[in-house]
Structure 1
Amino acid sequence: MATQVGRQDAAKPSPQLVEMSWDPITRIVGSLGIYTKIDFQQREVVECHSTSSIFRGYSLFMQGKDPRDAHFITSRICGICGDNHATCSVYAQNMAFGIKPPSLGEWILNLGEAAEYMFDHNIYQENLVGVDFCEQMVRETNPGVLELAEKTEAPHAELHGYRKIADIMRALNPFTGDFYREALQMSRLTREKFCLMEGRHVHPSTLYPGGVGTVATVQLFTDYLVRLMKYVEFMKKVVPLHDDLFNFFYQALPGYEKVGQRRVLLGCWGSFQDPDVCDYDYRTMDEWGRAMFVTPGVVVDGRLVTTSLVDINLGIRILLGHSYYDDWDNQRTFVDRDPLGNPIDQRHPWNQTTVPKPQKRDFNGNYSWVMSPRWYDKRTGDYLPLDTGGGPIARLWTTALAGMVDLGGYIKATGNSVKIRLPKTAMKPEMELEWKIPPWSNAIERDRARTYFQAYAAAVALHCVDKALEEIRAGHTKTWTDFEVPKNAIGCGFHEAVRGVLSHHMVIENGKIANYHPYPPTPWNANPRDIYGTPGPYEDAVQGTPIFEENGPSNFKGIDIMRAVRSFDPCLPCGVHMYLGEGKELQVVHSPTFGVTP
């Protein structure tokens, strides 16, 4: 709900600013608040602050734990992408323990993660963010747009079955729309696929350092493939449907490309390991990183500046800025050099010491529990506020530019696009889709990329099923490799959570975890202004966003602001990690009458 906090006195000079807040943002998990100042005369958001009001402390209570438990514990960071955390933690453990899982174990893990991408992107796109584009919402905020949609033919009606754009909008109405309900059914199939590979959704029960405990059989992969092919057929409808819907908004509202637009500063840490290349050795990390089926990279102003995981790792900096923490400049340095001899900065996750300092929110001072991750660009000396664009747009952009991925006829990165081939299914012929690098990084293109990446994940899964069955038929059924925990070691894992970049950095001393820091996508996207005053990506994307909503201040829904923020797929549990102050003991005494007295 939008809250009107105040308005400048009418006698003061223009601009007339209205302070409005949305806290909490609905249809997401967590405590995200967006505070804005809007100039309704110029129809523009002129200022934005992104806040989060909880801290949960994983970087603190991981200390002293057995490293082998890291993935089970960090999975609980999030009830949505817990498996992404477990996977990334396992990657970090594999490096620290010096182990390489069997190929079949890697194919199974890839299939589990592909199912998670398909599940989460599907349910978010159609059942959560899709509501922003449904008939009910458009009727409330832009009745003129709905009137045009009733008259506008859908260019790909023969592929998705909806004749008018307004028919697509009606199909997205929550609980009553037929496409909304169809997507809910599809999400069940995707969760079943995940559980076949990793045992339990969303906290895996068969995932371990060294591989997986999943019993690999032909039947297992057949059961997965049956569900996958239904999803592939579904995507042949979904992609053209969304293309029609999103293109219509550009047509109906000239200038809508400015909604949620920010400078192209994208980060992707890569996804889907190739077991023929990956050995989890830091010294060969660039090689196996570039062999991933989603290419890691940093895109600055449309240019791919690196595909090196070593460079990506060395460039990570955690800045405090306007967050509720004390600095750790004078704290201990855990890692001074990486295994290749490169110096490690004190503000790198391996060396971070979390010192929480709760305080009153002050937009001129500190106002969020989210820290401000940045990537240090050694070419320019800039600390770049990278965003993930909700995950898919960064993954597709880096993969397209790198031109490295070529998966057996399923996926081809061309240098300026990604081609995805979906094979013949029960009711639909083979289809080739092509995601092309867009002219903007904005709300519409973030949402569009989410649709295309669902098809991408399905195509990767088809490739991985082929490879897993090859292993089974060759008699290579081992899925796990034994290991020993070293007394002292460091490790880092790089992965893509559903919403984007995910890294886990671990330091082991005397066989126990001495330091551990997970950095998921939401800290990269939801952070406040850093020490240099640079806004975080949410703030940057909302500031300057034009207002197209037809309602005035008294009945303002903020739909353009919500579309901008939700296009990043916010998930605040991953952004902030419960704080209990100095610790308070609550003594509960049970009386003979079974009453409870504090």
Structure 2
Amino acid sequence: MAAVWDDLVEFFFNADPGYMLVESCPATLYRRVYGTTRLFMMQNSWNCNLWGEKRLATPGVIIDGTLRTTRLTELNAGIEEFTDKAILEQWRHARVKTDPSGGALSPLHPWNKRLNHRSGEDASFKQTHPNASPRWDRELLETGPMARLWVTALGGKLKNEFIHTFRNVNGAGLEINLPQIPTAGDKTQMGCPVRPNALERNLARAYHIAYSGMIALTYLLKAFDCLQRRETAMSVPYRVPQQSIGAGFWEDGQGILTHHTMIVDGRLFNYQIVAPSDWMGSAHTPSGRPGPYEQAIINTPLLEQFKSPEEFTGIDILRAIRSFDP
């Protein structure tokens, strides 16, 4: 699949370099932890930065092509949600002012979020978006398979027998070694693109099939090792704390999916989710910057050939939006 998409992308770029500009955005990407990762922060104990960077897809944020951080504490603390264009009221009270490691949090952090709809005089035609608009360090970010692979490549922290990061004169990338099961093994390489565009997103999604397959094989082999050692337990005892705060760092097919929770008196007090569609489909923030979907349409040139409005199909706009897998 990856090899086929390599040929397709090269064909389109050679046929018309304008395809490089279909939804061409700044290299500003967001990536959370891959797979079944969860975290509960108990009082002042929070070692997530250590195990976060050991995950089989590195967490991190890329701003304008530069890796800003791979620390989960910084990724969590940088999240804010704005409601200027949303049908939600802006919450005012910051119940949580610091994270368990002592880092300062914005009043707009999901731990402080309250879902109250605007009503009466506060509601107007300007507030039409159903959700708040998340940003990280006030930056507009994109998430998804391309972000996962790009952050992992630039991070250079991955340790896996099948997947390796590399750097050469052309930049950073990933080498995926396919095992000799059942035929001869092979390897494929993906380099980081100069900037995101529609075809590069589709190419990354194809490479992510190979990447995910090798991650699945890694855990299958670990499961076999556990069975050989007769380690067959499927769960461990857990007691819900009386007071705690927590965050779950997950991903689905579209990208980052985070859960932010508070427990008070042994009960769930606040539970907020920030989904990939919240990031990608977000509205304008106070700075006036649109979300990735809207920015994609703004940045897309019309390469389609047509002589009249009736002949126009909007295929270039469709390519841009579909590349996000909405």
Same fold (TM over 0.5): yes
* C-alpha distance in 2 between matches for 1:545 and 1:401: 27
Deviation (angstroms), 1:423: 1.3
SS at match of 2:17: coil
1:422 to 1:274, Cα distance in 2 relative to 1, 3 A: farther
Question: Do the aligned partners of 1:392 and 1:499 also contact (CA within 8 Å) in 2?
Answer: yes
1:530 maps onto 2:291 in alignment: no
Q: Deviations over 1:339-367 (max 9, x none)?
A: 112222210000011112379984xx233
1:319 maps onto 2:82 in alignment: yes
Question: Do the aligned partners of 1:506 and 1:513 also contact (CA within 8 Å) in 2?
Answer: yes
Question: Do the aligned partners of 1:321 and 1:533 also contact (CA within 8 Å) in 2?
Answer: no
* C-alpha distance in 1 between matches for 2:283 and 2:119: 15
Compute the RMSD of aligned alpha carbons.
Answer: 2.0
* C-alpha distance in 1 between matches for 2:197 and 2:6: 15
Whichever structure has more helix as a proportion of its residues is 1
SS at match of 2:61: strand
Deviation (angstroms), 1:491: 0.7
**1:414-493 correspondence runs (5 A):** 414-415=166-167, 416-426=172-182, 428-493=183-248
1:291 maps onto 2:66 in alignment: no
* C-alpha distance in 1 between matches for 2:221 and 2:50: 23
Paired residue type of 2:13: Y
Q: Deviations over 1:100-148 (max 9, x none)?
A: xxxxxxxxxxxxxxxxxxxxxxxxxxxxxxxxxxxxxxxxxxxxxxxxx
1:516 maps onto 2:268 in alignment: no
SS at match of 1:414: strand
1:399 maps onto 2:145 in alignment: no
* C-alpha distance in 1 between matches for 2:226 and 2:41: 21
Question: Do the aligned partners of 1:239 and 1:451 also contact (CA within 8 Å) in 2?
Answer: yes
Q: Which residue of 2 aligns with 1:503?
A: 258
1:412 maps onto 2:164 in alignment: yes
- Point out 4+ residue stretches in structure 1 off by more than 6 angstroms: 278-281, 358-361
Q: Which runs of 5+ in 2 are unaligned?
A: none
Q: Give the share of equivalent positions with the same residue, in percent.
A: 35
Paired residue type of 1:395: R
* C-alpha distance in 1 between matches for 2:40 and 2:157: 19
Deviation (angstroms), 1:370: 2.7
Q: Which residue of 1 aligns with 2:102?
A: 341
Paired residue type of 1:563: R
* C-alpha distance in 2 between matches for 1:514 and 1:273: 24
Question: Do the aligned partners of 2:36 and 2:250 also contact (CA within 8 Å) in 1?
Answer: no
Paired residue type of 1:483: Y
Question: Do the aligned partners of 1:367 and 1:528 also contact (CA within 8 Å) in 2?
Answer: no
* C-alpha distance in 2 between matches for 1:253 and 1:557: 19
Deviation (angstroms), 1:311: 0.2
* C-alpha distance in 1 between matches for 2:264 and 2:271: 11
Question: Do the aligned partners of 2:37 and 2:248 also contact (CA within 8 Å) in 1?
Answer: no
* C-alpha distance in 2 between matches for 1:242 and 1:280: 42
* C-alpha distance in 2 between matches for 1:242 and 1:358: 49
Paired residue type of 1:494: F
* C-alpha distance in 2 between matches for 1:373 and 1:286: 22
SS at match of 1:292: coil
Deviation (angstroms), 1:328: 1.0
SS at match of 1:543: helix
Q: Deviations over 1:233-254 (max 9, x none)?
A: xxxxx11111112221112222
SS at match of 1:533: coil
1:274 to 1:350, Cα distance in 2 relative to 1, 3 A: closer
SS at match of 1:386: coil
* C-alpha distance in 1 between matches for 2:275 and 2:244: 22
Question: Do the aligned partners of 2:82 and 2:134 also contact (CA within 8 Å) in 1?
Answer: yes
* C-alpha distance in 2 between matches for 1:539 and 1:279: 35
Deviation (angstroms), 1:435: 1.0
SS at match of 2:239: coil
Rg larger in structure: 1
SS at match of 2:299: coil
Paired residue type of 2:164: K
Question: Do the aligned partners of 1:334 and 1:507 also contact (CA within 8 Å) in 2?
Answer: no
SS at match of 1:432: strand
1:373 maps onto 2:113 in alignment: no
Paired residue type of 1:242: W
Q: Which residue of 2 aligns with 1:566?
A: 322
SS at match of 2:268: strand
- Provide TM-score, normalisation by structure 1: 0.51
Question: Do the aligned partners of 1:273 and 1:292 also contact (CA within 8 Å) in 2?
Answer: no
Question: Do the aligned partners of 2:67 and 2:155 also contact (CA within 8 Å) in 1?
Answer: yes
1:435 to 1:487, Cα distance in 2 relative to 1, 3 A: same
